[in-house]
Every structure is written in structure tokens, then in C-alpha cells.
Structure 1
Amino acid sequence: MFKKVLVAEDLDSISITVGQVLEELSISEIHHAKYCDEAFLKVKKAIFDDAPYDLLISDLSFKMDHRDTQLTSGDELLAAVKKVQPDLKTIVFSIEDKSFRIKSLFNDLGINAFVSKGRNSIPELKKAIQSVFENDTKILSPELSYALRDKSLIEIETYDILLLKSMCRGLTLDETALDFKNSGVIPNGSSSIEKRINKLKIFFKANNNVHLIAIAKDLGLV
């Protein structure tokens, strides 16, 4: 079983419950972090001390307060952690139920398991921890099994997400083109971007750009 685990969760009650699950699995070293920045620093320090974590269990949503933070979500934490410790096993423990977002966690961030917070979440989390330790891949709560089978968003690519996010920021075509060019995103020509937006409107049956953004938000794409 895992020896050293980090739990990134800002609610004490949930953090304590997760800790109890880990103790039941005889995990000897359990650390907690209420902020994503704090969790990331713990991961980096553990690597520096030559005593890295074996597993990270993280929520996706972290409530903002007076404290200034660089990493504001579990997604950002996972992306940062994977850059410094690519082989770290990761489990997301969240109420998220948007199929695209769950898919992206597995496909883009390489998580090992997703457990939905709910009525049976504790035994499911315990089972997921055991399965991840045994090197099973893509462990998902039964009630969300549809998420990885959902083909409705199969044509959506990372490029489309970046484009939709730019639209949410209110950038014009030319501003988006410049932003993409500076970031090395291809294609970055105004005409190419406009064609892509039109394809997205057709794909989602959106009447206009505002409608497209609303649909994207409802689906959890942005």
C-alpha cells in the first residue's frame, strides 16, 4: 500500500474523513493542504528531501479567501504537479459531473481515478485507492461511468477549449489571433479562428457567439 499521501482539500470535515480512510488502509504518513499553492510546495519539498509522495488526492474546487494564490483550482494543481513529478499517482475527489471535464482530467492531466463525492463516496474512495495502488487505470465512480463513454464531445479538442476561453474573456478575433500567436497556438490566423468558431456554433447548434459561450459553460467546457 502507499506509504506517503497528500490530501488537498479545503473543507476540514472532508479532509478528516479522507484521512480516516487512509488510516484504515494502514498508510503511515498522511499530509493535508487547504490551498493548492500549499499542496504544490509540499510536493516540491518532498521531492527536494528525496522523500516524494506516492499519492495525491485532490478536490477540484477551492474557495477563495483573503490569501493570494497562484494556483486556484485542483486542475491547475494537478497540471503543476505533473510537471515536477510525472509519475505521482493522482485521485480526484470532487462533486464535478461534467463529462468533458472528467474526460480531460484523464486524457490531459493523466489522473488515475475520479471519485464523486456523494452517498457512497467513502467506500468508493477506499476502493479507488486500492485499485490505483494495484496499477489499475481510469478508475471512475459507477454513477459517472457514462462520462468516459460519452461520444457527444469527441470532436472537441484542446484548441477549441482555448478558443472558447478567449471568447469568454471578451477578446476580439484579432486579439485572439495575437494571443494565440504569442502563445504558439496554431492555427492563429483571424480567418482560421473565425471558421473554427462557426464550426463550433454548428456543432453545438448555437445561434450566436453569446449562445455558444453559454452552452460551453453549461457543459463545463470553460
Structure 2
Amino acid sequence: MSKNLKILIVDDHQLIIDGIISSLKEIGDYEISSTTNCDAAFAKLKQEPFDILFTDLSFDNDTVSAKLNGGEDLIKAIQKEEIPVKIGVITAHSEINRIFNVIQNLKPLAYLLKTKCGATELNFAIQKMMSNDFYYTHEVHQKMIRRASINIQMDEVAIQILKELPNQSKISNLEGIIKKEDGTILKLRSIESKLANLRIDLNAVNNTDLILKAKELGIID
């Protein structure tokens, strides 16, 4: 790239920062700054312009006096202040629901996993980000596709069943509780058929596993 990009890295572990800086030096002559807490990062961004911000999500060194408790708070503050910086996430969080919520709600241009964050991955991410395009680590991209496909399959009846199932000792107890969109009661055979399809969709071995998978995916609380 012709422009000497200014990049700010935010992570509470200096070794992680050093590793990212080392990888960045392999791919470009960037002007790199770093900090280990979100309040300091936000202050830097308000004081001087940066092209790209890479931030972790969780910070172990947050204190009760911290105004911004983690990367998500930092991103929200940046967006609220409309600070013109392109935002990427570099984190160890690979849980599908965490990924989905961060990408859906905060819309970072990049979501990279620390285990995959080498020079090649960073180079791809920066190229995409500077073109106002999105770049997700392959594992993240695959999880987003799966989460989106599950969302499409989740109708109101499925959500009712998944929410109510943990409260009942027997599946037969769901008859009379689960209703169709028109308000009519769903028969037991239809409930059992729906459960069987849900186990297939979520790759669950039994109904207990089904509930765990649904919670992991953020389908139910």
C-alpha cells in the first residue's frame, strides 16, 4: 500500500501485542502504537488519527475505575463518538454465539483468532479493511454461516419447544403448551417430529444435548 498506515493494537497481554507487531513488520512499514487497556486506547484515538484499530474483547486488567470494560465497550464508544478508524477484532473468543453477537451488533471489519493471526492473515485483513470490506478468519466465517443457517430454520414453534423443554420432565407434557401461529395446540406427534429435526439441525445426540447446543448458539438463554 502506498500510504504508511497508522495502526493501534489493544490487548492486555504484552506478549500478544509483541507477536502482532512482529507479524505486521513482516508485511509493511506501518506506524504502530499499542496499549494494554481500553481507556488508554480510547484516549489515544481521540487525540490522534489512526487508520486501523485491532482490539481484543476481554481484558483481565480492567479495574473498578475503568470506564471501558473490554473491547466491546471500546468499539461502542468509538462508534458513538464517530471516530473515523477501521476496527478489527483479534481475540481468543471462538464461541459461535460470541462471534455472532459481536459481528451482528458491532460490525467490525475483521474478526481474527489469536491462534491464526500470522502475517498472512493480518495482510489479508488489512487489505480488506482498507477497502471497507470484511475479513473473518476461516473458522469464524464457517461458524457465521452455520449460525445464520440455523437462524433461518428456527421458526416460532421451534423456539417455543426449546424454551419450554427444560421445564418439563416428559416430552408429553409439552402437548397443550406449544402452539402454532394460528393459536391451535401442537399435537405430541408433531412435537416429537420437530424435536427430531432440531436434533439433526444442531447435531445433538439427545434432548439434553439439544438444549446445550441451543444455548451455546444463543438461540435460547
Unaligned runs of 5+ in 2: 168-207
Does structure 1 residue 54 correspond to structure 2 residue 54? no
Alignment counterpart, residue 97 of structure 1, candidates 81, 87, 94: 94
Q: Which residue of 1 aligns with 2:135?
A: 139
Q: SS of the residue aligned with 1:5? A: strand
Kindly provide the amino acid, as one letter, of the partner of residue 142 in structure 1.
Answer: H
Q: Which residue of 1 aligns with 2:173?
A: none
Alignment counterpart, residue 149 of structure 1, candidates 121, 145, 152: 145
Are the aligned partners of 1:100 and 1:153 in contact in 2 as well (CA < 8 Å)?
no
* Superposed CA offset, 1:84-139 (max 9, x none): 23542111111112223223322321210111121x4213223212222233x221
Aligned partners of 2:43, 2:70: CA distance in 1, in Å?
15
Kindly provide the amino acid, as one letter, of the partner of residue 134 in structure 1.
Answer: S
Structure 1 pair 40–95 and aligned structure 2 pair: CA distance change class (3 A): same
Kindly provide the amino acid, as one letter, of the partner of residue 13 in structure 2.
Answer: L
Structure number, greater radius of gyration: 2
Alignment counterpart, residue 207 of structure 1, candidates 147, 166, 176: 166
Kindly provide the amino acid, as one letter, of the partner of residue 16 in structure 1.
Answer: D
Does structure 1 residue 30 correspond to structure 2 residue 29? no
Are the aligned partners of 1:4 and 1:29 in contact in 2 as well (CA < 8 Å)?
yes
Are the aligned partners of 2:6 and 2:31 in contact in 1 as well (CA < 8 Å)?
yes
Once superposed, what is the RMSD of the aligned Cα atoms? 3.3
Q: TM-score w.r.t. structure 2 length?
A: 0.65
Q: TM-score w.r.t. structure 1 length?
A: 0.65
Identity of aligned residues (%): 29
Aligned partners of 1:58, 1:109: CA distance in 2, in Å?
13
Structure 1 pair 80–155 and aligned structure 2 pair: CA distance change class (3 A): farther
- The count of aligned residue pairs is 174
